[in-house]
Structure 1
Amino acid sequence: MKFTKMHGIGNDYVYVNCFEETVSNPSAVAKFVSDRHFGIGSDGLILIKPSDVADCEMDMYNLDGSQGAMCGNGIRCVAKYAYDYGIVNKTNISVATKSGIKYLDLTLGDDGKVSLVKVNMGAPILTSRQIPVVSTKEQVIDEPLNVDGTTYHITAVSMGNPHAIVYMDDLKDLDIEKIGPKFENHIAFPDRINTEFVKVIDRHTLQMRVWERGSGETLACGTGACAVAVASTLNGLVDEDQPVTVKLLGGDLQILWNRQENLVYMTGPATTVFDGEIDVSFLEK
């Protein structure tokens, strides 16, 4: 199987061009290639497939083999791959995902390859049952939640996948390996949850760490950064209709929630690390 290792500010995936390759057992392949000791090493596997409704389709799997609906950092890399490797020859493209078709604007670098991608991430979902989160409230905004004996206040947002946002004064000493799984598997979240722990720097800048369901702590989460910008607007912590810089472990993303359009826009880099080939035939028998 030929592959390309790519990352969006440290959120790394193994990408396979399914215009040319066939992956018959993607869940098993995802678990194998994601292993950082015995495989390639990644946060998961993303297949780039032909689509009848868009320029291409993104099919993503987390490192535990579970299928995801959407990945903001991943889709920027899909767009870069599609242009750089000749699947498309235009700088405004569409990508089909499990959470709908996304539209992307590509910025080229001096080498003629994609360096920056702006993604129309669509409208945030704020209704509890659609996220989903178990609550008596129609929307969960700054609501208390008992997790492992401690009460946190969460804001719930879906960007095609579910997020719980928690504001904290300190992220450096956060024991995310302990508390992350407690949130992920909490009874309030029927489909598990991605959890963003956020520190407000100022009204235009947020810092976050993320525990992703099925992957653990990652260096970046694009949908999470979008959810954080939305949640911070709802909680009055950032200026409405203004770009917000979200600082993640792997780098920065620029997020804008246009309230009039009710659309979230994410802008950030995409990077190719290397191309390779790996034998996965023993997984597909």
Structure 2
Amino acid sequence: MTTGRFHKMHGLGNDFVIIDAREEEITLSGAQVAAIADRHSGVGCDQLIILRPSIDADVKMQIFNSDGSQVEACGNASRCVAKLIGDETRIETDGGIIIGSATADGAIVDMGTPRFDWQSIPLAYAMDTLNMPVGWEDLQNPATVNVGNPHVIFFVDDSASVELDRLGPMIEFDPLFPEKVNVNIAHIKNGAIYLRVWERGVGLTRACGTGACATAVAAIKRGLVSSPVQVNLPGGTLVIGWHDGESIQMQGPTSYVFSGEADWTRF
């Protein structure tokens, strides 16, 4: 497929170009993905999603960041795909199979069970992942959680005061994280989480579904909040539910922006 239709959707401002390739094959290079994601000369998006046939689920979701790199999971994209397809949808990702159901204003997604052992994050060497004995400047003793992709979470007094645009890439590329890492900065107020995310391969983002899940799980494990918890991001609010040993439930709104057609060979 060289020319085809696409959908533009977003969840809380975390936006996606979604290409349905379940009936016609499409292959894009990392450079092509980056060109499509460019907000000045392409369609523009945080992530590009290709939907493919799946043997084990209703659909396979291939996820690319705006720099052309491929990643294992994306919570907001999962919600958008669930809303796009409708009903209850089993979605295969490289991070595992998740289940999404459309709601009136968006979708609720079962994100599976989080992983906490250092090999599954992964980290370069063994350590306590709930209270890591490491830090970067004033950001100290984070937690790490894998929710299909790796996240490091710092709880601070005021998330807005952290220079995340400067510290985010420093932490993302630290050798401690052999597959790089998503960086989450959060504070707790009145039982709710206020969160900012530096997303690996993307940068500062208005919302990150897996980041909201990982941060909520870490906050619950540390006894800072109870489930379900409201997670407030720059783009809006998600509600995350999780109890130890169970899967993560994430609910929030999605928006269908427009559909279009493109000649992919031009990118």
Both structures adopt the same fold (TM-score exceeding 0.5): yes
CA distance in 1: counterparts of 2:243 and 2:106, whole angstroms: 20
Structure 1, unaligned stretches of length 5 or more? 84-90, 110-114
What is the distance in 2 between the residues matched to 1:150 and 1:61?
32
3-state SS, counterpart of residue 207 of structure 1: strand
CA displacement, residues 239-263 of structure 1 (integer Å, 9 cap, x when unaligned)? 2xx200000011100001122x521
The one-letter code of the counterpart of 1:258 is H
When normalised by structure 1's length, the TM-score is 0.88
How far residue 268 of structure 1 moved from its aligned partner, in angstroms, is 1.0
Shift of 1:21: 4.2
Distance 1:26 1:11 in 2: 22
1:14 and 2:17 equivalent?
yes
115, 133, 151: which one aligns with 1:125: 115
What does 1:182-197 align with in structure 2 at a 5 Å threshold?
182-197=170-185
Match of residue 234 from structure 1: 221
Match of 1:274 among 253, 258, 264: 258
CA distance in 2: counterparts of 1:21 and 1:251, whole angstroms: 35
Q: Which residue type is aligned with residue 156 of structure 1?
A: T
Letter in 2 for 1:16: I
Letter in 1 for 2:22: F
Relative to structure 1, the CA distance from residue 22 to residue 160 in structure 2 (aligned partners, 3 Å threshold; closer, same or farther) is same
Instruction: Compute the RMSD of aligned alpha carbons.
Output: 1.5
Identical-residue share of aligned pairs (%): 39
Please, which runs of 5 or more residues in structure 2 have no aligned partner? none
Deviation (angstroms), 1:127 = 0.2
Contact 1:5 1:275 in 2 (8 A): yes
- Verify the 8 A CA contact 2:139 2:154 in the aligned structure 1: no
Deviation at 1:136, TM superposition (A): 3.2
1:251 maps onto 2:239 in alignment? no
1:92 aligned onto 2:88 = yes
Aligned counterpart for 2:133 among listed residues 136, 144, 147 = 144
Rounded to whole Å, the distance in 2 between the matches of 1:151 and 1:201 is 19
Retained in 2: the 8 A contact 1:144–1:151?
no
- Give the deviation of 1:135 after TM superposition: 3.9
Aligned length: 264
Deviation track 1:129-182 (CA, whole Å, cap 9, x = no partner) reads 111023432x311223232x5552210000010000001112223221111001
Q: CA deviation at 1:53?
A: 1.1
In the TM superposition, 1:149-228 aligns within 5 A as 149-150=137-138, 152-203=140-191, 205-228=192-215
- Structure 1: distance between partners of 2:172 and 2:153: 12
Counterparts of 1:281 and 1:223, CA distance in 2: 32
Displacement after TM superposition at 1:209 (Å): 0.2
Residues 202 and 238, structure 1, Cα contact 8 Å, conserved in 2: no
Distance in 1 between the 2:125 and 2:238 partners?
Answer: 31
TM superposition score normalised by structure 2? 0.94
SS of equivalent to 1:233: helix
CA–CA separation in structure 1 for the residues paired with 2:43 and 2:208: 20
Deviations 1:23-81 (A, max 9, x none): 22242332011111111111020011111111111101000100010000001111122
Query: Cα offset for 1:279?
Result: 2.2
Structure 2 letter corresponding to 1:182: M
